[in-house]
Amino acid sequence: MLSQKAKYALKAMLVLARESGRGPILIADIAQRERMPRKFLEVILLELRNQGLLQSRKGKGGGYFLARQPSQITMGEILRVVEGPLAPLPCVSKVAYRRCDECHDERTCAIRMVMKDVREATAHILDSTTLADVLKRADSTIHGRGALIYAI
């Protein structure tokens, strides 16, 4: 299960994607719109910024904005920043490979083979789905005249 932090991160990034191009957005605004604790959101946004997904400006008129176009930022990138590797085992991670502690022979580890398939499948989805894709998908399923919210 995704952590609360991950959910907040995804929601916040979607807000910033929707407002993309319209200048910096305040932490406080995002927090209020998506009903997240402001202080916690600060921590998350800072992390996303330090990993190069966001940019920020301090002082009056400041705030946060995407470091790239919504079509150039993927779900996979975001989740890796806040949740670590997508892989279910370190030994099948491409980005953060690490040998499993007491693995005798990686080539014949049966569990590894299954988990490699799992990693491949999820990474394929998450790394090929951009913020822009998600926005489009959300908009195209609007029904009735309700407000537009990226609710989890």
Query: Around 2, how many Cα atoms within 13 Å sit in the side-chain half-sphere?
Result: 16
CA distance 78 to 8: 11
CA distance 28 to 66: 16
C-beta of 52 vs 139, nearer to DNA: 52
C-beta of 81 vs 130, nearer to DNA: 81
Residue reference for tokens 């991160």: 9
Q: What is the DSSP letter of 62?
A: -
CA distance 145 to 110: 51
Q: Is 141 in the site for its own copies (CB under 8 A)?
A: yes
Q: Using CB under 7 A, pick the residue from 9, 12, 35, 46 that binds DNA.
A: 46
Site for its own copies in 15-54 (CB under 8 A): 35
38 interface partner picked from DNA, its own copies, none, CB below 5 to 8 A per type: DNA
Q: Is 3 in the site for DNA (CB under 7 A)?
A: yes
Q: Is 64 in the site for DNA (CB under 7 A)?
A: yes
Residue reference for tokens 């993927």: 74
Q: Is 45 in the site for DNA (CB under 7 A)?
A: yes
58 interface partner picked from its own copies, DNA, none, CB below 5 to 8 A per type: DNA
Phi, psi of 17 (to 5 degrees): -70, -45
Binding site for DNA (CB under 7 A): 3-5, 24, 26-28, 37-40, 42-43, 45-46, 49, 56-64
